[in-house]
Copies of this chain bind each other. A is one copy, B any other.
């Protein structure tokens, strides 16, 4: 039992190393050797757990995606719809210094997905899930049950706006300082909810 959990732990440690590396130095800084050093294991060990670099990246992306979706799922389960939308929005856009890293990693994976089909497949899942969740929340906030195409559209636009703001926040922090970002996020969320209510 100790062994099994050690192995799992080792894997997770490696995944954490990948994520940390992406956050700090970007995607191109992720090399098997760098990951090994960061996780304080030998290069061979990394490849024992992930036979290819691609597999390693995939595992890291899956982990990041899991973090996002599990958080958002919890919001949907535990909060009233409008509040859930608001919290989700603030999860996607880096409004605190802490979430900066997470978003940075997510965007790095997203960018890579544009060019890497395996990563794209993993990425798609999350995008589809987020859109569906937001559409559902918008519908419920409007006192409707899910399924109205209007909610789908509003969800897609809101999600795009949040992604765009996140992208801007990372690459143009001066144009989009946290203060401004918060206001813009709120206005986008308000618009989406309004738009679903009587669009």
Q: How many positions in chain A have a CB within 8 Å of any CB in the partner chain? A: 46
Task: Report A13-27 residues with CB < 8 Å from chain B CB.
Answer: 25-27
- CB-defined contacts of A174 to chain B, threshold 8 Å: 124
Q: Report how far A114 CA is from B25 CA in the complex, Å.
A: 9
- CB-defined contacts of A195 to chain B, threshold 8 Å: 191
Kindly state whether residue A44 has any CB partner on chain B within 8 Å: no
Interface window among A76-84, A138-146, A152-160: A152-160
- CB-defined contacts of A160 to chain B, threshold 8 Å: 160-165, 167-168, 184, 188
User: Could you give, for residues 30-68 of chain A, a 1 whenever the CB lies within 8 Å of some chain B CB and a 0 otherwise?
Assistant: 000000000000000000000000000000000000000
CB distance from A21 to the nearest CB of B (A): 11
> Are A114's CB and B110's CB within 8 A?
no
Kindly state whether residue A10 has any CB partner on chain B within 8 Å: no
Given contacts A26-B115, A175-B127, contact A167 B163 (CB under 8 A): yes
Q: Report how far A153 CA is from B188 CA in the complex, Å.
A: 10
> Are B28's CB and A153's CB within 8 A?
no
Kindly state whether residue A179 has any CB partner on chain B within 8 Å: no
CB distance from A186 to the nearest CB of B (A): 10
> Are B28's CB and A115's CB within 8 A?
yes
Kindly state whether residue A123 has any CB partner on chain B within 8 Å: yes
> Are A176's CB and B163's CB within 8 A?
no
